[in-house]
Amino acid sequence: MEPINVLEYEALAQARMVASHWDYYAGGSDDEVTLRANRAAFERIRLRPRVLVDVSQIELATTVLGVPVQMPILVAPTALHGLAHDEGECATARAAGAAGTLMTVSTSATRHLEDIAQAATGPLWFQLYIWTYRQAEELVRRAEAAGYRAIVLTVDLPKMGNREKDRRNGLHTLHSTIMRTAYETEEDPAPIVATLTWDVLDWLRARTALPVMVKGILTAEDAALAIERGAAGVVVSNHGGRQLDTAISAIEALPEVVAAVAGRGEVYLDGGIRRGTDVLKALALGARAVLVGRPILWGLAARGEEGVRHVLALFHDELELAMGLAGCPTLASVAPALVRLP
């Protein structure tokens, strides 16, 4: 039977993947407390639905950094799609475009960013790790030339988190080999962003006309600094529970980040989104849209491009139903009063 929810794709994907590759996608750092918390935090938030509202028409379309999308559900940057399917990020990009949404392409993609752009049928953002300034400037130049719409600078990886499953499976060596092949270099692409400070935003904004998002924000303090340094917005994220274990979950961090940004930029969230009600809760707490990571990989591993399209359709339909049942016919009607926090 065709899966009827996103979580059913998880089991299909695991059954089709090499065990070590599955661990790479599924695993977190240390004891995986934050990995589990990303999901559990959504379950603790309760909805306060309104009734006797005309919900005969539900409107999901919005814009993200000025780019029209058909729903506030985007594809998050995730590494090495080629471990899930031979067509890798190219298949994901086609599926995102068919769903009317936007894909964020990872620096750690298994396909060249130009090939992904050529395959894409919808808008793209480019997620940037800075290994060296020379490498970063070249990637940004290539992304601009290929038509990407924004740069998403990931800042929560000054050192690699203690991902014990990957250490046991030797996945760091595989990752480095794939990345050296993708970027045609003999250099080890291990991130060196431990040397970076907030000055990197000045450096990056001086080298691109594209809007710059800062991904990996979990505090009001850092959100304010990002906006003050000229970021167009921030992504509330703990790297899917793969960096600092026991860090706050993304949805728990969202309210203080929204308050600190105070309308001066756009706020997005990733981490733990599995249901349309999760999306609705994030929107109610101030996110303009959410980014979905692992479920996209599940769809890709299970059924390729069609699987990704179906995962995105499931999210769309669940959000549409949740908005109707909550008495919210438009995204503008999704307000903080809709949720009760623990």
Place of tokens 């109610």: 284
DSSP string, 201-240: HHHHHTS-SS-EEEEEE-SHHHHHHHHHTT-SEEEE--GG
Q: Cα(249)–Cα(238) distance, rounded to whole angstroms?
A: 7
Structure tokens at 68: 């029209």
What is residue 292's predicted lDDT score, i.e. its pLDDT? 98
CA–CA dist 6, 112 (Å, integer): 28
Hey, which bits of 237-312 come out as E strands?
266-270, 289-292
**Catalytic annotation present for 239:** yes
Is 248's pLDDT higher than 90? yes
Distances (CA, A) of 22 to 28, 30, 88: 12, 17, 15
pLDDT in tens, 40-52: 999 999 999 999 9
Q: Which residues contact 314 (CB under 8 A, 6 or more apart)?
A: 3, 4, 5, 6
**Structure tokens given for 96:** 């995102």
Residue 269 DSSP label: E
The 3-state DSSP class for residue 328 equals coil
| Residue range 150-163, pLDDT digits in tens | 999 999 998 888 89
Secondary structure of the chain: what % helix, strand, coil (to 5)? 50, 15, 40
* Lowest-confidence pick of 46-55, 195-204, 265-274, 325-334: 195-204
Catalogue all structural domains in the chain, each as residue range(s) with its CATH number: 6-328 (3.20.20.70)
The pLDDT of residue 24 is 93
pLDDT digits (tens, 9 = 90+) for 304-319: 999 999 999 999 999 9
Q: Quickly state the pLDDT bin for 273 (edges 50, 70, 90).
A: very high
Which one, of 157, 134, 156, 125, lies nearest residue 203 by Cα? 134
Among 21, 81, 175, 239, the active-site one is 239
| φ, ψ for residue 214, nearest 5 deg | -110, 120
